[in-house]
């Protein structure tokens, strides 16, 4: 039991004191005091003594009811206590009740105290926003997708020809249910935009068109106008190259200038070449292509049949460019002067033919560049200049340029100057030798810079390489490409190849040229099957593709090979040569007829308008080509060895057939037949007439 205190009682146990003049208030009983103390005790000690036990009461520091009463009884009488001032927040006592003495405010039990604010928790990482992309404005309210024409989503330029109708399509919409109209704009690069309307078709697809009336680097974009407030939005610009028609349609004749004379011991001249132009033009050609016409190197000069050593008097290979008479901007003095060459160019134009010049970026050890700019070439480990190669071929007579050497800019600008130099002489078509062996980025730069200054320039890539590099060259700017046609023989293979090139996306950027042969390629089918093979391959090349070509000697069915190889024996690449242009067995009349049909029928001058048909004979290739009212059905026997026949069911709608029976005229034989509804029968002899070109009506 706790000892009695000799000091004044704790405020918690003090008796209430009456106001002055009044009798003291009644002192609460011990039981009431204990009850009051219990209500102000800490939460853990609020249990009654009976339930909590003495230990709990003692620990809580609260006297029990019994001890409190005994302690009060032993205290001496108290002196009157002056009332304490009343706090402002204490309510005023009523008139009836005696004012209560001020007592210290008891501490709030721990369980009822307002906890101190906890330290703030870090934000969730997702809520720490940080910097953002710039917000959009109303110029970006439209969505543009699947814009056509485009190549790799606009990474490369699509190609068209002057006079074409450019058809533009795009998926366009904006949010909500607002009303809007759509359009496309076109301009020369950095020029003024010209707007044309787009019409809505279905599923948010919009279409429009315009006629292309100038050549050059162009760009177009699609856009929309919000009719509510006139706000407009447009896509990014898509590149478009508009080329002259010769980039799509033309028959190419390869002339080897020094072989156009009559003396096998010396080179022909430009005058000899001019003398041959009437006959070449009479066969219907639009392009006359010549190999490099520059001075030929003497160091390591190649001899007859590509012998690594030449004999005295042998002319060497014209692809080994440069000697003491000059380099890429000079003319071989054996052929004549620069003025003679310019007369040759003018004469070709008078006969309706363009001149295509072979640009071979090679240099012989005797080239002025090798002396003046030795850092433009690759070097071996021992410091000597490295010879060129195109595996498995090696060229000991030429050096290869180093396109990223110490003077990259100077060399690139000089090569650009060469192209512009020849353009100033009237050359607009450049046949580029082996472009796949040079950096692709160089060609992209050079073609673009040339087209800026000479918008009607045309570049043909002589790249017999893998499909993807070949297509990349077309994407980056080459207007035409050599193709695999020379190695596609079966009807099914030819059909698959043409369908690939006329499909999407190749149709937007790749224009093949179906050459039947080249100075480097003597096809094995011509070696093995003679004149019928020449007739069949001429028909296939000229009727399938709007651009086709041949190398002189094809019209004479020349196919004498280097044994076991697809190369010509006694090739004029390495020696002087003459030809009998009227020797027996020639096919000049057949070539003339194919070109005449091509030149007079627009359907054969287009590339994307071909549709193949099935035939009961797998080696008869049948297809339809239409352009406006010009509707043709073509059938060709692809077998050089025997006559083939089969049944074909012409598509009436595409050919404009109104009903049966109907008439067809063969433009090859000039014969006219009456055909009935359904399938009709054809027969073709490769030795006599391997092709029919039927005009309906």
Q: Which of 462, 508, 617, 639 is catalytic?
A: 462
217-236 in b/e form (b: 16+ CB < 10 A) is bbbbbbbbbbeeeebebbbe
Q: Any catalytic annotation for residue 178?
A: no
Give the whole-angstrom CA distance, residue 78 versus residue 57: 28
Give the contacts of 647 (CB within 8 A, at least 6 positions apart).
615, 616, 679, 680, 681, 682
Strands 429-433 and 458-462: parallel
Distance separating alpha carbons of residues 38 and 162, to the nearest angstrom: 106
Q: Which residues contact 35 (CB under 8 A, 6 or more apart)?
A: none
Please check whether residue 9 is in contact with residue 79, taking contact to mean a CB–CB distance below 8 angstroms. no
**Which tokens is 10 given?**
């704790």
CB-CB neighbours of 382 under 10 Å = 5
Which of 114, 209, 125, 197 shows the shortest CA–CA distance to 166?
Answer: 209
Contact of 430 with 461, CB cutoff 8 Å: no
**Inter-residue contact 208 to 183 (CB < 8 Å):** yes
**Contact indicator for 231, 225 with CB cutoff of 8 Å:** yes
Question: Is residue 462 annotated as a catalytic residue, yes or no?
Answer: yes
Active-site residue (options: 161, 185, 272, 433):
433
3-state secondary structure of 146: strand
Ramachandran angles phi, psi of 598, nearest 5°? -60, -45
**Is-contact 666 621, C-beta < 8 A?**
no
Which residue from 421, 426, 412, 266 is spatially nearest to 332, judged by alpha carbons? Answer: 266
**Could you give the CA distance from residue 458 to residue 575 in angstroms, rounded to a whole number?**
30
Half-sphere exposure of 133 (CA within 13 A, CB side): 3
Alpha-carbon dihedral 111, 115, 119, 124, rounded to 10 degrees = 80
The answer to whether 247 and 479 are in contact (CB under 8 A) is yes
Number of H-type helices and E-type strands within the chain: 13, 29
Tokens of 361: 């970026």
DSSP code, position 131: -
Sign of CA dihedral 97, 101, 26, 66: positive
**For residue 195, what are the β-bridge partners?**
185
Look up tokens 């953002």; give the residue: 132
Q: d(Cα 158, Cα 154) in Å, to the nearest integer?
A: 8
- Whole-angstrom distance, CA of residue 276 vs CA of residue 288: 11
SS3 content of the chain, % helix, strand, coil (to 5): 30, 25, 45
Active site residues: 433, 462
């Amino acid at each position: 039991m706790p000892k009695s205190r000799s000091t004044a009682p704790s405020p918690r146990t003090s008796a209430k004191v009456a106001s002055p003049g009044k009798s003291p208030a009644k002192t609460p009983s011990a039981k009431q005091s204990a009850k009051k103390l219990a209500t102000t005790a800490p939460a853990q000690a609020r249990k009654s003594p009976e339930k909590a036990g003495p230990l709990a009461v003692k620990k809580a520091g609260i006297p029990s009811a019994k001890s409190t009463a005994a302690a009060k009884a032993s205290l001496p009488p108290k002196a009157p206590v002056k009332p304490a001032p009343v706090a402002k927040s204490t309510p005023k006592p009523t008139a009836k009740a005696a004012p209560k003495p001020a007592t210290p405010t008891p501490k709030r039990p721990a369980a009822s105290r307002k906890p101190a604010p906890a330290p703030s928790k870090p934000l969730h990482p997702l809520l720490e926003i940080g910097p953002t992309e710039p917000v959009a404005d109303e110029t970006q309210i439209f969505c543009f997708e699947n814009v056509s024409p485009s190549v790799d989503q606009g990474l490369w330029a699509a190609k068209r020809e002057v006079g074409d109708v450019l058809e533009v399509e795009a998926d366009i919409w904006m949010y909500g249910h607002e009303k809007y109209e759509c359009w496309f704009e076109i301009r020369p690069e950095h020029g003024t935009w010209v707007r044309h309307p787009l019409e809505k078709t279905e599923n948010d697809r919009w279409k429009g068109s315009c006629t292309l009336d100038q050549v050059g680097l162009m760009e177009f974009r699609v856009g929309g106008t919000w009719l509510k407030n006139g706000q407009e939005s447009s896509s990014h610009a898509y590149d478009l190259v508009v080329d002259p028609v010769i980039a799509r349609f033309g028959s190419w004749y390869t002339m080897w200038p020094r072989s156009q004379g009559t003396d096998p011991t010396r080179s022909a001249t430009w005058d000899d070449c001019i003398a041959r132009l009437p006959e070449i033009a009479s066969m219907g050609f639009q392009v006359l292509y010549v190999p490099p016409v520059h001075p030929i190197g003497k160091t390591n000069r190649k001899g007859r049949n590509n012998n690594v050593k030449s004999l005295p008097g042998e002319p060497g290979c014209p692809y080994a460019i440069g000697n003491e008479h000059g380099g890429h901007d000079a003319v071989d003095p054996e052929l004549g002067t620069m003025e003679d060459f310019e007369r040759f160019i003018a004469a070709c134009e008078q006969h309706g033919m363009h001149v295509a010049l072979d640009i071979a970026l090679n240099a012989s050890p005797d080239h002025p560049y090798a002396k003046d700019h030795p850092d433009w070439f690759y070097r071996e480990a021992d410091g000597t200049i490295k010879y060129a190669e195109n595996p498995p071929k090696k060229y000991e007579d030429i050096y290869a340029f180093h396109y990223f050497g110490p003077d990259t800019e100077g060399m690139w600008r000089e090569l650009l100057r060469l192209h512009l130099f020849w353009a100033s002489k009237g050359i607009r078509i450049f046949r580029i030798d082996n472009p796949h062996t040079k950096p692709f980025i160089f060609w992209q730069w050079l073609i673009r810079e040339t087209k800026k200054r000479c918008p009607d320039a045309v570049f043909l890539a002589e790249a017999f390489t893998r499909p993807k590099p070949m297509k990349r060259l077309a994407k980056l700017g080459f207007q035409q490409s050599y193709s695999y046609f020379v190695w596609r023989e079966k009807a099914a293979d030819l059909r698959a190849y043409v369908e690939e090139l006329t499909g999407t996306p190749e149709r937007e950027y790749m224009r093949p040229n179906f050459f039947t042969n080249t100075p480097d390629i003597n096809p094995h089918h011509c070696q093995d099957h003679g004149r019928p093979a020449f007739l069949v391959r001429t028909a296939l090349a000229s009727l399938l593709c709007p651009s086709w070509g041949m190398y002189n000697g094809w019209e004479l069915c020349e196919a004498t090979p280097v044994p076991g190889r697809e190369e010509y024996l006694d090739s004029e690449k390495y020696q002087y040569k003459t030809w009998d242009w009227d020797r027996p067995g020639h096919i000049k009349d057949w070539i003339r007829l194919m070109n005449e049909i091509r030149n007079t029928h627009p359907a054969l001058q287009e590339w994307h308008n071909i549709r193949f048909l099935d035939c009961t004979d797998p080696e008869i290739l049948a297809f339809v080509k239409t352009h406006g009212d010009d509707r043709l059905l073509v059938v060709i026997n692809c077998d050089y060895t025997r006559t083939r026949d089969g049944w074909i069911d012409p598509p009436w709608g595409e050919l404009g057939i109104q009903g049966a029976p109907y008439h067809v005229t063969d433009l090859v034989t000039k014969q006219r037949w009456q055909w009935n509804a359904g399938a009709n029968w054809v027969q073709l002899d490769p030795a006599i007439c391997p092709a029919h070109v039927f005009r309906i009506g």
